[in-house]
Amino acid sequence: MLRNALRPRWLALLALVLLVCAAFSWMGSWQLGVARDKGAEQARREVATSPRVPLEQVLQPQQGFPVVADGRRVGVRGQYDPGRHVLVSGRLQHGVSGWWVVTAVRTSAGAWLPVVRGWVPSPSDPAVSADRVPTGPVLLQGVLQPDDPPAEGAAPVGSESGAGSGSARTPEQLRALDAAELVNLWGAPIYNGFLVLTGEQRVQQTAGQPTGMVAGPQRVPPPTVQPSGLAWRNVAYAVQWWVFAGFALVLWWKMVAQDAREREAAERGGMDDGGTA
């Protein structure tokens, strides 16, 4: 059978079959890419249209950041602590590198939530001042994000901080927004992950009605959600193309085997005829 497979006509047919298999494999890979793109688009639509929910429904203090919380719009009620106030370096906004202004909010759960209040081009920007941090109870709306990966040599950029003391000195300057680093500055309990602020209102303790806020740093655009997913119909199409590729090879081998059996039968018939004569 192997000698028969090495005959020129079968080798030529094998070359054609391999070309067909390559085409089928490419079609399968293309359909898998379509499945990923469609699945991700569907997941993005679901995230974009999902209703805003209270923070406690998707994230708890001192617990891991769940996948379902990534990019989720939430509402939070709490109070800023101007003494727990940091800057995070290397943040681009409209192509300009600057700093995120991050302030801790004490939530109703009694834990510290890092809130990205905005962006400034320089640590000396007036918007960095603790005097610009809203006081009293606030209602916040924003988008949840997981912690940054730990920065290499994650030591703070700057060391002058009044964290936890209510001081108005220059905020601590960090290279990454990571709860593992913030807990050393702010204490526990703390949330893993942070909130990118999209809206805030001060709540009057007397009338219970929201009021306007003082001017702060430039608002950071909500992050682009990059969820993953698969469109299973296109996954099935991809599998079908790969099955077709395998079937083409199997069919070629069966044809070679059938031809080998026919040749062997013909040779035996010729020998029998010769022996009879």
If asked whether residues 75 and 206 sit together in one domain, one would say yes
Which residue range is the domain that position 97 belongs to?
Answer: 71-211
User: What is the spatial distance between Cα 16 and Cα 24, in angstroms, rounded to a whole number?
Assistant: 12
If asked whether residues 238 and 206 sit together in one domain, one would say no
Please give the pLDDT value at position 228: 58
**265 is a domain residue:** no
In the chain, the DSSP E strands lie at 53-54, 73-93, 96-107, 112-120, 137-145, 172-174, 194-203, 210-211
Q: Please give the full DSSP string across 35-77, using - where no structure is assigned.
A: HHHHHHHHHHHHHHHSPPEEGGGT--TTS---GGGTT-EEEEE
Please give the pLDDT value at position 226: 55
- In terms of C-beta density within 10 A (0-12 exposed, 13-18 middle, 19 or more buried), how is residue 164 classed? middle
- Residue 213 phi/psi, 5° resolution? -115, 160
**276 is a domain residue:** no
If asked whether residues 206 and 247 sit together in one domain, one would say no
Please give the pLDDT value at position 38: 77
Sign, CA torsion 46/48/53/58? positive
If asked whether residues 205 and 83 sit together in one domain, one would say yes
- Residue 171 phi/psi, 5° resolution? -65, 155
Mean pLDDT split into 10-residue runs, the chain, 277 residues:
77 88 88 80 67 87 85 90 90 89 92 92 86 88 87 51 46 88 90 90 60 68 65 81 88 85 76 57
If asked whether residues 207 and 245 sit together in one domain, one would say no
If asked whether residues 133 and 199 sit together in one domain, one would say yes
Residue 226 contacts residue 70 (beta carbons within 8 Å): no
If asked whether residues 95 and 197 sit together in one domain, one would say yes
Residue 79 contacts residue 136 (beta carbons within 8 Å): yes
**79 is a domain residue:** yes
Please give the pLDDT value at position 88: 92
Residue 194 contacts residue 211 (beta carbons within 8 Å): no
Q: How many independent structural domains does the chain possess?
A: 2
Please give the pLDDT value at position 161: 40
User: What is the spatial distance between Cα 186 and Cα 193, in angstroms, rounded to a whole number?
Assistant: 14
Would you put residue 227 in left (φ > 0), alpha (ψ -120 to 50) or beta? beta
If asked whether residues 133 and 5 sit together in one domain, one would say no
Please give the pLDDT value at position 119: 92
Residue 105 contacts residue 81 (beta carbons within 8 Å): yes
If asked whether residues 175 and 233 sit together in one domain, one would say no
If asked whether residues 27 and 78 sit together in one domain, one would say no
**113 is a domain residue:** yes
**37 is a domain residue:** yes
Give the HSE-up count for residue 252: Cα atoms under 13 Å, Cβ half-sphere: 21
If asked whether residues 158 and 242 sit together in one domain, one would say no
End position of a domain, from candidates 153, 181, 211: 211
**148 is a domain residue:** yes
**259 is a domain residue:** no
If asked whether residues 242 and 120 sit together in one domain, one would say no
**217 is a domain residue:** no
End position of a domain, from candidates 211, 240, 265: 211
